[in-house]
Structure 1
Amino acid sequence: MSNSILKTILAAGCFAAIAFPADAEPTKPECLAGAKPGGGFDLTCRLAANSLLEAKVIGKPMAVTYMEGGVGAVAYNHVIGKRSKDGNLITAASSGSALLLAQGKFGQYDESAVRWLGALGADYGVLVVAADSPYKSLAELIAAYKANPSDFAVAGGGAVGSQDWMKSSLLAKAAEQEPKQMRYVALEGGGAVLTALEGGHVKVGAGDAAEMAKHHVAGKVRVLAVMSPSRLPGDLAEVPTAKEQGIDIEWPVWRGYYVGKDVSDDDYKWWVDAFTKLAASPEFTKEREARGLYEYTLIGDAFDGQVKADVARFKILAKEAGM
């Protein structure tokens, strides 16, 4: 197994044994991104659309369409209400979708209202401080936070209840502090978090590895811990995980897809087999790496189980954090 956190589930058991259901290939393949062009959902759709065609898993281009609203909530409700049987359609999702489902922000529907197809990559949460910060390890940061919590402003690229807020709450819990008492500064994206750190306006930032890695290498900030099961490859290879430093914190930011609840078993199996074939292709690896994602492949039942486990975990975290 690769050292870069490969979690590949070959749904058909063996790549060579994959048999696509007859006549199940989508006639008009489409990926729905539940936001404006340019964001994470767009990236997720483009990852599938480009690599599926380049690897010759699909025989015609996949259309990418957009439906803004509720950080994916409008698209989720649209698929359930209007396109539940559409075997042509896959819809982009992320661990943020699971977090919003756990908080009841997708309306009347829960995580069982769609069929979860697969995840084809992930980023990971990080905790970062300014380059001239006195804290050289996660243990030092936690000890200082615990000693004087009111002195620690923590910035994240999202509002209270967002993924960055939840990462910050895990830091507060590790320091035996109430997350809802945390001095959290909600900013617009990772770039604003970096600016706040460099300007000395906050002491800690919560963010994602792919965005922070180049700034860590450039000496602008210091990544203290990555929230991954094992060390990440590339620019952050020398940064220890939170677990290595004695703190049981993991935060994968997976990029995945779902289909409608009433899609036929043959159509669902076609997509599962297609994703399994895709994940083993060099064309996919190139596309994933170009988008700054790390290896994280869960397909079919394995992904369905992971999403539902994530929602259950996020419900507990939200309750503990006083959300």
Structure 2
Amino acid sequence: MNPILRSLALAVTCVTLAAPALAEEPKRPECIAPAAPGGGFDLTCKLIQSGLLEQKLLSKPMRVTYMPGGVGAVAYNAVVAQRPADGGTVVAWSSGSLLNLAQGKFGRFDENAVRWLAAVGTSYGAIAVASDSPFKTLDDLVQALKKDPSQVVIGSGGTVGSQDWMQTALIAKAAGINPRELRYVALEGGGEITTALLGHHIQVGSTDISDSMPNVIAGKMRLLAVFSDKRLEEPDMKDIPTAKEQGYDIVWPVVRGFYVGPKVSDEDYAWWKTTFDKLLASEQFAKLRDDRELFPFALTGAELDTYVKKQVADYKVLAKEFGLIQ
């Protein structure tokens, strides 16, 4: 071989050996929704299932599987302990997941136990009632709670200290009511809250607006308040009053996103991050997100990790304020 060609071939070989192998598309891509079907985690997985396929970022449909329990705790522990290196699986999380992590509700694993991948949108907390409820305003509900909190059954995703519990606890605190006197039924996510509310097994649902809007549009439910800073501008939402305008200064965004196991390779993590960056930048994804009543909120990789750690720290302060942790 010509000496010059031999030198070039050797150089190419060295570069090839030095460069890390590029990860390929997962053979069996999966999104775990850590709750029963029909709620916010399900919505989050279905959003990227549609988006990744529509944008041809995956060549095959992503499976959506359900792993309810502890409003995310079962899935979190399963992925960390049993599937830590599974590079084909992403798991949905929300602000409620971070609130639970802040209180140690995910067992021995904390916010440092997984690799935070992407945030894809945000919703806002909301207080929902059935369309035939006697409560017409947030103040109607507050007055009933002041009169006798035991007579109002509130459904929330998770037990005392959960995100849904926190929303009504903040209302109670603002109204001078002891949150511990409220009567709660712990349910597993937004799907079960909706079912219980429409079946009149509960009188009030502490949920979020993206879970609720399909039934609001269908005339089956009403929202007494949304916990946004100002009224939302979407046509179907513009008539829903905020808690703030009704005298309760409460804002509660519900960010939604994904994490992967702690031992997922850097190559697989980089593939997912790059893929999510492409997805989040597309106009088609923006439409899919809007169709699911979610609002823009996009972070990936190190920026998301920083955001998550700060949120957990802030939630720990709030949890201490309510006596949920020491």
Q: TM-score, normalised by structure 1?
A: 0.75
Distance 1:22 1:291, change over 3 A: farther
Once the two structures are TM-superposed, the CA of residue 286 in structure 1 deviates from its matched residue by: 4.1
Distance 1:212 1:75, change over 3 A: closer
> Are 1:192 and 2:196 matched, yes or no?
yes
- Give 5+ residue unaligned stretches, structure 2: 1-19
Partner of 1:165: 165
Q: Is the 8 A contact 1:131 1:219 kept in 2?
A: no
Task: Map 1:81-160 to 2 at 5 A.
Answer: 81-128=81-128, 133=134, 136=137, 138=138, 140-141=139-140, 144=143, 148=147, 150=149, 153-160=152-159
Q: Is the 8 A contact 1:121 1:254 kept in 2?
A: yes
Distance 1:147 1:76, change over 3 A: closer
Q: Structure 1, residues 68-92: CA drift from partner, whole Å, max 9, x if none? A: 5444333322322344344333222
Q: Structure 1, residues 13-41: CA drift from partner, whole Å, max 9, x if none? A: xxxxxxxx972343425224154773443
Once the two structures are TM-superposed, the CA of residue 257 in structure 1 deviates from its matched residue by: 0.6
1:193 aligned partner, one-letter code = L
2:237 aligned partner, one-letter code = L
User: Which is further off, 233-242 or 309-318?
Assistant: 309-318
Distance 1:24 1:141, change over 3 A: same
Greater RCO, 1 or 2 (C-alpha within 8 Å, sep 6+):
1
Once the two structures are TM-superposed, the CA of residue 171 in structure 1 deviates from its matched residue by: 0.8
Distance 1:299 1:182, change over 3 A: same
Distance 1:321 1:24, change over 3 A: same
Partner of 1:8: none
Partner of 2:294: 293
- Give 5+ residue unaligned stretches, structure 1: 1-20
Partner of 2:248: 247
Aligned-residue Cα RMSD (Å) equals 3.4
Partner of 2:303: 302
For 1:146 and 1:57, the matched residues in 2 are separated by 50
Distance 1:193 1:263, change over 3 A: same
Q: Is the 8 A contact 2:37 2:66 kept in 1?
A: no
Partner of 1:23: 22
For 1:141 and 1:307, the matched residues in 2 are separated by 36
> Are 1:234 and 2:238 matched, yes or no?
no
Distance 1:103 1:287, change over 3 A: same
Q: Is the 8 A contact 2:210 2:292 kept in 1?
A: no
> Are 1:271 and 2:275 matched, yes or no?
no
Task: Map 1:73-84 to 2 at 5 A.
Answer: 73-84=73-84
Q: Structure 1, residues 200-253: CA drift from partner, whole Å, max 9, x if none? A: x74x54232234445555666543321123432231112233334453322233
Distance 1:305 1:243, change over 3 A: farther
Q: Is the 8 A contact 1:154 1:206 kept in 2?
A: no
Partner of 1:15: none
2:25 aligned partner, one-letter code = P
User: Which is further off, 258-267 or 65-74?
Assistant: 65-74
Distance 1:128 1:45, change over 3 A: closer
For 2:126 and 2:66, the matched residues in 1 are separated by 29
Once the two structures are TM-superposed, the CA of residue 120 in structure 1 deviates from its matched residue by: 1.5
Distance 1:106 1:214, change over 3 A: closer
Report SS of the residue matched to 2:229. coil
For 1:54 and 1:221, the matched residues in 2 are separated by 32
2:166 aligned partner, one-letter code = M
2:269 aligned partner, one-letter code = Y
1:226 aligned partner, one-letter code = V
Whichever of the two has the greater Rg, that structure is 2
Distance 1:268 1:177, change over 3 A: same
Aligned identity (percent) is: 49
For 1:221 and 1:205, the matched residues in 2 are separated by 10
Q: Structure 1, residues 83-135: CA drift from partner, whole Å, max 9, x if none? A: 43443332222223223322322221101111111122333211245667475
